Amino acid sequence: MNKPLIDDNGEAAELGEAFFKKARRGRPVLPEDSRKQRVTLFLDPDLIEYFKRGGKGWQTRINAALKEYRGEH
């Protein structure tokens, strides 16, 4: 098991050379069947504005709304 980077007092450990040799940027790659797919979709402007008013993450909220609709129908 890996040693935690934060101790019981909430202090961060020093990150040595070994940590940075193994470190990778970004998220781990998802299995192909779990990845999202890029699509082109035409939506009414008022619908896009509604989701954009909620700020960052509007596309994720549209995705969640579609999943909710799918679950109800």
Residues 5 and 15: beta-carbon distance below 8 Å: yes
Residues 51 and 58: beta-carbon distance below 8 Å: yes
d(CA 16, CA 9): 20
**pLDDT at residue number 8:** 87
Q: What would the pLDDT profile of 20-35 be if each residue is shown by its tens digit? A: 898 888 888 889 998 9
Q: Is 24 part of a structural domain of the chain? A: no
Q: Is 42 part of a structural domain of the chain? A: yes
Q: Within 13 Å and on the Cβ side, how many CA atoms surround 27?
A: 4
| Number of structural domains in the chain | 1
Q: Is 13 part of a structural domain of the chain? A: no
Three-class SS state of 23: coil
**pLDDT at residue number 40:** 95
Q: Is 1 part of a structural domain of the chain? A: no
Write out the residue range of the structural domain in which residue 68 sits. Answer: 36-73
Q: Is 73 part of a structural domain of the chain? A: yes
Q: What would the pLDDT profile of 41-70 be if each residue is shown by its tens digit? A: 999 999 999 999 999 999 999 999 999 999
The DSSP output letter for 10 is S
> 15 phi and psi, to 5 degrees?
-95, 110
| Predicted structure pTM score | 0.59
